[in-house]
Structure 1
């Protein structure tokens, strides 16, 4: 992979689009924000795109089914596509647990890379038990782990060990994806 992409869909500048993925509690938001800081890519938190009914459902401990996820995923793909049209690169923190979800996200921007933060469920469960102020209860971790489909060999992305410190995860993601670490990357 290289840090340079050719302009697509009539964009005057090449863009890059990255989804930091994994189950709840792996550090998606922290790593995605770190990538934003190093590269200038525009950051979005997928949780902020959920409908009120989805948030209420998760808050009550009920996992989302595919029917509840499809509109949310379409909104995320549309957001990335709109930024791509503007010539703006993005980094999104999003669970993207299933291949079909990632396929839908890929319908947004023409080139999409994934950073899968992966590791032992026990480590994640411990992190979730210490997290305050988030609507996703630790009780839903098992349903997310069961739903998780690792990146396929034909999917563009990298898998990183979530036990690494956040700054190392950010550096590894930026390096392995070949992202530029300046605003020339098209992020601003």
Structure 2
């Protein structure tokens, strides 16, 4: 029997991490943790004001996600995190070796349109450009899959499940 993975659903704001994360967790039979809930209140206030976070703001957030992921090692789980930079993903991997990434991607127009429909979220559409500018896609030596966000949440989730199944067992 395969050991359940800890999966980080990553991507720029508006790609559907909060929608796909719980659906993916349900399909994999593991718990889901919303990455936004790990942000310190000062970071949420900063983003709400339209100010992008810097690395100093992100380290405590990434460390909190890393602790959660570490606690789920061997048990499995899904957590959302933008994980935009390689250094952020490296930090998560250092805390929880063996995690894998599902990078949700889509063209800017689609992502912006989806972001503009969100209600009550602290991340304004104005920060989307900074998200795309910061994004460093998964590199070949990083364990993960890329999933396009066109289609329904169920279609996206199914693509993610199918893509994860292609990863070698040694990453599970």
Check whether TM > 0.5: yes
Structure 1 position 53 matched with structure 2 position 39: no
- How many Å apart are 1:112 and its aligned residue? 1.1
Q: Structure 2: give runs of 5+ residues left out of the alignment.
A: 167-172
Counting helix residues as a fraction of each chain, which structure ranks higher? 2
Q: Which residue of 2 aligns with 1:28?
A: 17
Q: Which residue of 1 aligns with 2:104?
A: 117
- How many Å apart are 1:165 and its aligned residue? 1.7
Mapped contact 1:23–1:144 kept (Cα < 8 A): yes
What is the DSSP-based 3-state SS (H/G/I as helix, E as strand, rest coil) of the residue aligned with 1:81? Answer: helix
Aligned length: 166
Q: Which aligned segments of 4 or more residues in structure 1 are displaced greater than 4 angstroms? A: none
Cα separation, 2, equivalents of 1:126 and 1:106: 32
What is the DSSP-based 3-state SS (H/G/I as helix, E as strand, rest coil) of the residue aligned with 1:63? Answer: coil
- How many Å apart are 1:28 and its aligned residue? 0.8
TM score, norm. by length of structure 2: 0.92
Cα separation, 2, equivalents of 1:130 and 1:38: 26
The alignment's C-alpha RMSD in Å is: 1.4
Cα separation, 2, equivalents of 1:36 and 1:78: 18
Residues 156-171 of structure 1: matches in 2 within 5 Å?
156-171=143-158
Structure 1 position 100 matched with structure 2 position 87: yes
- How many Å apart are 1:52 and its aligned residue? 0.5
TM score, norm. by length of structure 1: 0.84
Mark the structure with the bigger radius of gyration.
1
Match for residue 41 of structure 1 among 15, 30, 37: 30
Q: Which residue of 2 aligns with 1:7?
A: none
Cα separation, 1, equivalents of 2:125 and 2:25: 27
Cα separation, 2, equivalents of 1:116 and 1:16: 15
